[in-house]
Amino acid sequence: MEFAAELARVLPQDIPHRDRLIQKAAAHLTLILAANEHFNLTRIINAPEAAIKHVFDSVAPWRYFAGAHRVLDAGTGAGFPGIPLSLVLPDVRFTLAESTQKKARFVDGAVDHLELHNVEVLGDRAEQIAIAQRPEIITARAVAPLDRLLDIFAKPMKQGARLILYKGPEVETELAAIKKYRIKAEQLSRYELPDGMGTRVLLSIEAF
């Protein structure tokens, strides 16, 4: 599939390390396509949709992760958003957490194949990793409802971690359901995916 051509079409011209991102993200998507023949990593495998919903979506808000020392990608699945973000931000350390061992082994192999020296993959529960590593940022994309994430990461947030979550346009409904939590929630960004593929809201949450 022409993953590289689609990535070149949709990715912003001003994104850091754009050529490297296109090359290695295309290789990552090719690995996913091959692995999908043996077990279900993702239902999104056609080139335009994969380029937009996997890669563009992951890196569009890259500026909010810049300058962090360590970022934890909770429930990375096939490697999103952690792998694309690590390509844009090579000076940031990324830990990709995936408790499903088959997926964790795939992502670990992909990281090795892509020679991503700022990435480690751990096949453990993200909340346990967060307590041990104390990342500045914990990110998650399509992992769990907001109230569930707040329960899971309550202790890391008390330790100072900030959640930066990729959410859909229904985020207001989720926010209304978490008023009992002692948190500060802020919408950092709202952006449209290319080709009319949806709206994303980037949400920042910190403990009081």
- Of the candidates 96, 97, 80, which has an alpha carbon nearest to the alpha carbon of residue 25? 80
- Whether residue 19 lies inside any domain: the answer is no
Among 16-30, 43-57, 87-101, name the one with the lowest average pLDDT: 43-57
Q: Is 54 exposed, middle or buried (0-12, 13-18, 19+ CB in 10 A)?
A: buried
Can you tell me which residue has the tokens 């994430």? 149
pTM of the model: 0.95
74 occurs within a structural domain: yes
Per-residue model confidence (pLDDT) at position 140: 96
pLDDT at residue 1, as a whole number: 58
Task: Write the pLDDT tens digit of every residue in 61-103.
Answer: 999 999 999 999 999 999 999 999 999 999 999 999 999 999 9
Residue 32: inside a domain: no
Q: What is the rounded average pLDDT of the residues 42-54?
A: 89
Sheet order of strands, 183-192 included: 119-122, 93-97, 70-74, 137-141, 162-167, 199-207, 183-192
When mean pLDDT is compared across 34-38, 112-116, 121-125, 189-193, the lowest value belongs to 34-38
Would 33 be classed as within a structural domain?
no
Q: Do the domain assignments include residue 39?
A: no
Nearest-CA neighbor of 72 among 81, 59, 62?
81
Please say if the pLDDT value at position 37 is more than 90.
no
Share of the chain above pLDDT 90, in %: 84
Span 116-144, average pLDDT = 95
Residue 35 has pLDDT above 90, yes or no: yes
Please count the CA atoms within 13 angstroms of the CA of 147 that sit on its side-chain side: 10
- Structural domain count, the chain: 1
| pLDDT of 44 higher than 90 | no
Element of type H or E holding 24: helix 18-35
- Torsion 138-143-145-148 (CA) sign: negative
End-to-end CA distance of the chain, in Å? 47
Any domain includes 14: no
- Model confidence at 161, pLDDT cuts 50, 70, 90, reads very high
Q: Does 23 fall in a domain?
A: no
On whether residue 184 sits in a domain, the answer given is: yes
CA dist 207 and 155 (Å) reads 10
Residue range 40-60: average pLDDT? 91
| CATH number, residue 84 | 3.40.50.150
Domain that holds residue 128: 61-207
